[in-house]
Chain A
Amino acid sequence: MRAPAYILLEDGIRFDGESCAADAHAVGEVVFTTGMSGYQESVSDPSFAGQLITFTYPHIGNYGVSAEAMESERPWARAVIMREACDSEDALGAEGGWLQWLSDCGVPAISGVDTRALVRHIREAGAMRGGLFPESVSPEQAAALIAAEPAMDGQDLAALVTPAEVTHHGQDGAGPRIAVLDTGIKSSIVRHLVARGARVSLYPCTTPAAELLASDADAILLANGPGDPAALGYVVDTVRELVGRRPVWGICLGHQLLCRALGLQTFKLPFGHRGANHPVKDLQTGRVEITSQNHGFAVLGPAGARTIDGIKPVRWHTDFGAAELSHVNLYDRTVEGIELLDVPGGAVQYHPEAGPGPHDSVYLFDRFLQRIAEAIA
C-alpha cells in the first residue's frame, strides 16, 4: 500500500522506508528531535522551517492531531522521518489522523526507517542536508537536488515564516503591551503572555525600530524562529535600536538575535539541541529545569568559548552595559540565557513555553512581565 521511499544525505548515506504522507520529495537540513510526544507541535513550529524532522521516538501519530496542538497555522517542517507511523483518528481529543493531516498539508513523510542508525550518523557526522524521495526519483536526481539546496549556515529563513501584516492578540487584557518581532513565533508563547493579561502584537520581522518605538508597546519580545541568526543582520540592527529604549526579551532565535545585537557571536552546533529533556541551570536561583529545546545555533561564551566551564559568574561588557550569563545547559555547558544588568532585558535559548515539553520554566513569563512592570514603574 505504501510506496517505497528513501532518505539520502549529502554525504551519500541512504536509508530506506515507505512513503506515508504527501506524494512528493523534500530537501533541506536533516535534524532529529528526542522528545517522545508532541509531534504535531514540533511539525507546526516555524523554527523547523527548512528542515526534515527525524523523530527518535519510534511510534509517531498515536493520538492523532488537533487544532489545540498547533504552534502556528501550518506545518513548517519540510518532511517527517519516522520508525513507525500511525494514522488513527479515534484517540481522545483527536480531530484527525496524523498522516492524513500531513498529506492534506502537502508534507511528505517516511516510515520504516532505522531512525536510530540515522540519528547516530548525524550525531557523528553533524547535521547536514538531505532529502526524502519517492523511489521514482533516482539517486542521482536526488543527489543533484540535495546539492542545489543551500546549506543552513547563512540562511535567512525568518523571511519565510514572518507574517505579512501586524496582528493583535489579547487586546482585552489589562497587562503590558508587548510588541513581538515575529521571526516565526510559536502560538504557545502568545498563549502564555495573553493568559497573563499581556496585549501582544506580532510584527513582521522587517518592521523598522522607529515604527516599534512609535507604537504604544511597553516591551519588545524577540521570538523564536528558524535559520541562522548571522543571516539576520537587518533584525539585529533593529534590535540595537531597541535595547535600552524598551525592555527587550528573547526566546531561542530571539536570544541569539539579542546577543548578536549586544556584540556577541553565534555558532552552529554540531547537530543542535532538539528535545524535551535538556537540563538547564538557572544561575540566579540554582534550580535545574528540564527544558524544551529546539535550536541549531548557539551563543559563544566570553573569549569565543563554546562552553562555559567552571562555576564563576560569567559577564560580558557590551555596547549596552554589562550582561550576565543567567542560564547554562548542563548537558554540554552551552549558553542558555543572558540577563542585561544596566538596561532591562534578557533572553533564554530554550523554550519556557514548552509546547511540546515540560512546564518547569513557565515561571520565566512571570519574571518577564515582572521586569516590564518594574521598568514601566
Chain B
Amino acid sequence: MPRRDDIHKILILGSGPIVIGQAAEFDYSGVQACKVLREEGYEVVLVNSNPATIMTDPEFADATYIEPLLPGPVAQVIERERPDALLPTLGGQTALNLAKALHDDGTLRRLGVELIGANYEAISCAEDRELFAVAMRDAGLRMPKSAIATSLEDALDALPDLGLPCIIRPAYTLGGRGGGIARTPEQFRTIVARGLEASPIGQVLLDQSVLGWGEFELEVMRDRADNVVIVCSIENVDPMGVHTGDSVTVAPQQTLTDRLYQRLRDQALAVIRAVGVETGGSNVQFAVNPDTEEILVIEMNPRVSRSSALASKATGFPIAKIAARLAVGYLLEEINNDITGVTPASFEPTIDYVVVKWPRFAFEKFPGVDSTLSTHMKSVGEVMAIGRTFGQAFAKALRSRELDKPPKLTAIADEELLASLQSPAPERFEAILELLSRGASVEEIHKRTSVDRWFLRELATLAADPDAPFAGERTFKSVDTCAAEFPAQTPYYYSGWERPSSGIYSDRAGPPPPGAPEPVRPSGPAHEVRRGERPSVVILGAGPNRIGQGIEFDYCCVHAAMTVRESGRDAVMINCNPETVSTDYDTSDRLYFEPLTLEDVLGVIEVESAGEGGLDGVIVQFGGQTPLKLAAGLAAAGVPLLGTSVEAIDLAEDRAQFGELLGRLGYKAPPYATAHNVADALQRGDEVGYPLLVRPSYVLGGRAMEIVYSSDGLADYLRREVQQEGRQQIFLDRFLENAIEVDVDALCDGKDVWIGGIMQHVEEAGVHSGDSACVLPPHSLGGEMLDQIRAATREIALQVGVVGLLNVQYAVVEGQLYVIEANPRASRTVPFVSKAVGFPLAKLACRIMLGEPISALGLPREQEGLGFGDHISVKEAVLPFDRFEGADAVLGPEMRSTGEVMGIARDFPTAFAKAQAAAGTPLPLGGTAFISVTDSDKDGAFAIAQILHDNGFRILATRGTAAAIARMGVRAEALNKIGEGSPHVVDWIERGDVDLVVNTPTGSGARTDGWQIRRAAVTRGIPCLTTLAAGVSAARAISSARQGGAPPVLCLQELHRGRDAVQVS
C-alpha cells in the first residue's frame, strides 16, 4: 500500500509548554513527523504555543501557528487552512485531548478533517478506564482488580477478590486524603471506615495493590495491514508504585526469561489490536508479579510518548518518523530502516548494549514539598546513558545528571538509611549504593525496596568499586538496531569500555610463535566512528532538562548543528538528554550520546581530532551553563573554543572585573559586595544597603536567591542557605524596588553589534527573568531609554569581547538605566526573540562563531531594536505549582518555571491574553475577581479594579484592599480573611465562586493568608496574578477581548513574509 494521495494537507498539533510529564520529547517527535510528511510531499500545518521548540521554526511547516492549544484557536486555524487530516498522536496528551475535543464539538466533522494515526474510537478506548477495562477483558487480558464500596460490609465482601495489600481511596477528596494501603484485614477495616467518613459522598474506591511488582513497558508499532512489531522493552528498576517518569529504567528488560518476555510481547500485541490503534506507535505498561509470573495490563498510550522517545534513542528506531509514514498509508515493510539502509522497518531492534534512564528532580526549588515518589510524576527532566554493560550505563547516567548538590549520605547511620528506603525518595539509589558499600546485603535491600536482586547485585559491584565498569579502554561503538548484524549507516555513537582486542596476540602472550597463523588485524579499529575529510565542529548540548535550563538551549544547539552542516563542516553533537531534538541522529553528522563531563567530552574530542578533517573547534555557548562550566577545562586541555573566549566569559561572569568595566564605561549598576563568611556578609549587607538580593556564587536559575529587607532577614538567610549548606561565597546586591526589568539579546562579531530584540518584563524586578512574562517590543519604555539600552548593549558587547551571542539584563528605575548582568552566551529568550522578530539568532551567532562578520549575514538595519513587524509578542512562563502540593505559588528571584508559551497579536493586551490562555489559565471575560494587595500596591489595585468593574466584574477584596478601592470610587465587597472565620476567601475560591485572583505577597512562608489564597487558585486552575503589573495587563487584556471577540490566529510565515523587503543597511 503506497502513500495516501487522497489527502494533501495535514495538521499537526504540538504539546504546548514544557510541563512535568510532557517535555521536549514531543518536539522531537513533532519535528520528525513534519520532516517526513513534507518529504512525502504533504503540506503541513502546525499549531503549538511553545516558541522554544524546533517544530515551530518556520522552515519545518508550510504554515506555523504559535497559538494556544485550545479548541477555539485550533478551530480557527482549521477554518483558515482547511487541512484534510489531523495527526494527533505526536503531541502528547495535550494533542490527543484537543483532537478529542475538536471531534466532540463537531469541528472536525463540520470542516471535513479526518483523524489519522489514531481514530476517535481508539483514543476513547485507551483514555476511558471503563472502555479500556472492557476491551482488555474481551481480549482475555487481566488488569488490577478494583471495586467501589459505600459501606464497610460492601468493602469486606469485595476483599477476598481484591486481596491484600489493597489500596483504599475515598471518592472526591483532594489528593486522596483519608486513603491508604491496607496490608492486614484489621488495617483494611480501619482505613475503609476512615475513608468512608472522609469522602463527601461516603464512597471508597478499592484497588488491588501491585506495589512491589515488576514494571515493564513495551513500545509497539502497528501498520494498516495489522503487522505489529515491538520496538523496545523497558524495565523499571523501581518496581510498581513509582511513576515510570520518576523511575530509573533500563532497556532492554533484564530479568525476564524468554518465555515470560514472549508472553508480555503477545499481550502487548493483543492490547494494541484490542484498542484498535490502526497505525503508529503505542506504549503498553505491564505489572508482573515477581512471585507468580502473573501479568496485569496497567495502561496503554495510543500515541508517541516519553517512553517511545526513550525507546527511539535507546534503539535507533525512529518511532515518530515511522509513525508519521504509517499514518499516511505506508506499511512497515515499505519503510526503510535508516540505520542499516538496506533492511525494512518491519523488524524488531536488537541491541548489544544497555541503556539506563535516570530522572532529574528539582525539589530544592520547592521547599516544603513532599519529595516522596509515587504514582504522580514529579521529575522535571531525564538523562539517558548507554554502556556496554549495566554497570557502565548506570554509572554514566549517574554522572550525566549534573546534580547541583549531590546527596551527602556518608554521615547518616545505617538504620536511618535503611529506613529511608521504605518509601521511595529521589536519593534512593544513592542510599542503596551507600548501604551496599558499607556491606549491607542484597537481600536486606531487596526486602525493603523490592528492587530485583539482579540490579542490586550489579549495584553492589558498582558500590564496591565505582571504577570497575570502566576497566579497559574507551571505544566508541555504534547504535545500529541490529547488534552489528548489518553495517550501520547512521553515525550514532556511545562509549563502551572494552578489553583491547586490537591485535592477534595480547601483550601477555608475546609475539606469535613460529608456525602460528599470520597475525591479522581485526576488520576495523576499536572505534567504529566513521568520518570523512570535512573538519568537525563539536557542539556541547545542554544535558538534562531542569528548571533554569530547559529546551531553549537544546533549540540553540540544534540551530548550531544546522549551521555547522550548512558551512560544509561536520556537526558533532554531544548530549545525554533523550527527550531532545539534538539527540536525534538526523540532527548532526555525528551524535555521541555521552555525559557532559570534561573527561567524557575530551574522550570524544580525541576521536574527533584524529583523521583527515581534524577538529575546527568546540561550541560551548549554546547549551546553557552545562557546557560553559567545561569551557575553562577544555581551554586548559588545549581544545580550540569557537566564539567568545574563556577570558571574555570570565570578564563578564566575574563580578569584580565586570563591575570595574561598567564603572569605566560610566554605567550604573546596583551596589554590590561579595562576602566570604557570615560576619562579613552582615557587615557588607549594611554597606550595600537594604533591600538586598542575596545568593550563593555559582548557581543556575537563581537557585537559593532571595530578597531580604533587613539585617535580621539576612541573618536568617545566612543561617539557612550558607551555614547549613556549607557555602563559601555570598553575593549581595542592592535590590532595586519598583524597577522595570529589560532583557536584550544581541549578536557581536568583535567589531560590530546587532541587537536582536529588547524585551520588557511584565513583572517588576525581583521576579526571576525566567519566570517573568515579557513583551517584545517593550510597551512602556520611551525611545530615549531604548537608545540608551542599545548603546549600552553595543558597548558592553564590544568591551567584553563577545563573538556570538550576548544577553544583557537591565533595570530601569525612575528613568535611570542600571546594568544588572551580562551573559556572553545563548540565553533562554533566544528562541522567543527569533520567532518574534523573524531572524534565527542562534544560527546567525553560529555563523559569526565560524568566522563570518555581521556585515556578511544580510541582516536588516535594526529597526530601533523593536522587532520588525506590526505585531506584539508576549512570552509567559509556565509553573509547576499544581504538581507540588505544598508549594507556594508566588514568583520570586528563584526561577521555578518549567516552560514557556508565546502569544502573538496585533496589540499588547491581546498578545498577553493569548499567552495566558496558552499557559493554561485563560483569562475570564466576566465573573468575579478577588483582589488583595500589600499596602504599597493599593493605588495600583484600584486601577485593576476599575477596569474589571467597567467590564462587568463583581469585585471582591480583603477588608483593607476593599476599603482602599472603595475610597477611590469602585464598589468592592469585603471578604473575611482566613483568621476571621468562614466563609472566608479560600472558601469562596474552593467553591468555584471566584474567576480571577490578583494577590501580591505580603511575606513568605507557609500558611500565610496569601499562600493559602494562591494555593487554592492554583488547585482550581484559576488565573492568579501575583504582581501588580501582571494584574493591570490582565485587566487590559480582558477589556480588549470583550470588545474585540476571539482574537484572530496569526501564521508565522505570513507575519515575517514582509521581512525580506526591509532595507539592508
Task: Answer yes or no: are A and B bound together in one complex.
Answer: yes
- Chain A residues with CB under 8 Å of chain B are 4, 6, 10-17, 34-38, 41, 56-59, 62-63, 66, 68-69, 83-84, 86, 88, 90-93, 112-121, 123-125, 138-140, 143, 275-279, 281, 286-288, 290, 330-331, 354-359
Contacts of A63 in B (CB 8 A): 255-257, 454
Q: In angstroms, how far is the closest chain A Cβ from the Cβ of B517?
A: 4
Given A59-B354, A123-B484, A290-B347: 8 more A-B contacts, CB < 8 Å: A16-B499, A16-B501, A37-B257, A57-B252, A90-B453, A116-B498, A139-B513, A330-B344
B610 at interface by CB-CB < 8 Å: no
Contact residues of B between 804 and 863, Cβ < 8 Å to A = none
Q: Are A12 and B519 in contact (CB under 8 A)?
A: yes
Q: Are B504 and A14 in contact (CB under 8 A)?
A: yes
Over the window 517-548 of chain B, the binary record of Cβ atoms lying under 8 Å from chain A Cβ atoms (1 yes, 0 no) is: 11110111010100000000000000000000
Q: Can you identify 23 A-B contacts, CB atoms within 8 angstroms? A: A14-B501, A14-B505, A16-B501, A34-B485, A37-B253, A38-B257, A63-B255, A68-B259, A88-B457, A112-B499, A114-B526, A117-B475, A117-B498, A117-B501, A120-B484, A121-B523, A143-B516, A279-B346, A288-B227, A290-B230, A290-B348, A354-B262, A358-B348
Q: In angstroms, how far is the closest chain A Cβ from the Cβ of B168?
A: 29
Q: Are A288 and B257 in contact (CB under 8 A)?
A: no
Given the contacts A38-B258, A91-B454, A58 and B350 also touching, CB distance less than 8 Å: no
Distance A278 CA – B485 CA, assembled complex (angstroms):
11
Contacts of A84 in B (CB 8 A): 389
Counting chain B CB atoms within 10 Å of each CB, the highest count among A38, A56, A113 belongs to A56
Q: Are A57 and B352 in contact (CB under 8 A)?
A: yes
Distance A14 CA – B509 CA, assembled complex (angstroms):
11
- Point out the residue from B229, B477, B486 that lies within 8 Å of A116, measured CB to CB: B477
Contacts of A115 in B (CB 8 A): 352
Given the contacts A14-B506, A330-B347, A59 and B254 also touching, CB distance less than 8 Å: yes
Counting chain A CB atoms within 10 Å of each CB, the highest count among B265, B344, B485 belongs to B485
Q: Are A138 and B513 in contact (CB under 8 A)?
A: yes
Q: Are A118 and B389 in contact (CB under 8 A)?
A: no
Interface magnitude class on chain B? 35 or more
Q: Are B293 and A92 in contact (CB under 8 A)?
A: yes
Q: Are A119 and B504 in contact (CB under 8 A)?
A: no
Contacts of B257 in A (CB 8 A): 37-38, 63, 66, 69, 93
Given the contacts A69-B257, A69-B259, A119-B483, A83 and B515 also touching, CB distance less than 8 Å: no
Q: Are A116 and B484 in contact (CB under 8 A)?
A: yes
Q: Are A279 and B520 in contact (CB under 8 A)?
A: no
Going nearest first, the 3 A-B pairs with the smallest beta carbon separation are A38-B258, A56-B483, A12-B517
Q: In angstroms, how far is the closest chain A Cβ from the Cβ of B601?
A: 23
Question: DSSP majority for the B interface?
Answer: loop
Q: Are B485 and A275 in contact (CB under 8 A)?
A: yes
Distance A116 CA – B501 CA, assembled complex (angstroms):
11
B735 at interface by CB-CB < 8 Å: no
Q: In angstroms, how far is the closest chain A Cβ from the Cβ of B482?
A: 7
Distance A171 CA – B513 CA, assembled complex (angstroms):
60
- Point out the residue from B290, B498, B509 that lies within 8 Å of A139, measured CB to CB: B509
Distance A117 CA – B527 CA, assembled complex (angstroms):
10
Distance A140 CA – B511 CA, assembled complex (angstroms):
11
Distance A66 CA – B257 CA, assembled complex (angstroms):
10
Distance A265 CA – B388 CA, assembled complex (angstroms):
40
Contacts of B725 in A (CB 8 A): none
Q: Are A139 and B512 in contact (CB under 8 A)?
A: yes
Given the contacts A36-B252, A331-B347, A116 and B454 also touching, CB distance less than 8 Å: no
Contacts of A123 in B (CB 8 A): 484-487
Nearest CB to that of A4 among chain B residues?
Answer: B508
Contacts of B486 in A (CB 8 A): 123, 331
Q: Are B261 and A37 in contact (CB under 8 A)?
A: yes
- Point out the residue from A37, A69, A359 that lies within 8 Å of B256, measured CB to CB: A37
Given the contacts A139-B505, A356-B258, A59 and B389 also touching, CB distance less than 8 Å: yes
B973 at interface by CB-CB < 8 Å: no
Distance A139 CA – B80 CA, assembled complex (angstroms):
76
Contacts of B520 in A (CB 8 A): 11-13
B139 at interface by CB-CB < 8 Å: no
Contacts of A56 in B (CB 8 A): 350, 352, 483-485
Distance A37 CA – B216 CA, assembled complex (angstroms):
15
Distance A124 CA – B526 CA, assembled complex (angstroms):
14
Q: Are B333 and A58 in contact (CB under 8 A)?
A: no
Q: In angstroms, how far is the closest chain A Cβ from the Cβ of B887?
A: 41
Distance A35 CA – B261 CA, assembled complex (angstroms):
12
Contacts of A91 in B (CB 8 A): 255, 453-454
- Point out the residue from B225, B226, B252, B290 that lies within 8 Å of A92, measured CB to CB: B290
Q: Are A330 and B333 in contact (CB under 8 A)?
A: yes
- Point out the residue from B293, B333, B349, B484 that lies within 8 Å of A277, measured CB to CB: B349
Contacts of A281 in B (CB 8 A): 333
Counting chain B CB atoms within 10 Å of each CB, the highest count among A69, A116, A123, A290 belongs to A116
Contacts of A114 in B (CB 8 A): 475, 498-499, 501, 526
Given the contacts A58-B388, A62-B454, A63-B255, A11 and B517 also touching, CB distance less than 8 Å: yes
Distance A16 CA – B506 CA, assembled complex (angstroms):
8
Distance A345 CA – B977 CA, assembled complex (angstroms):
88
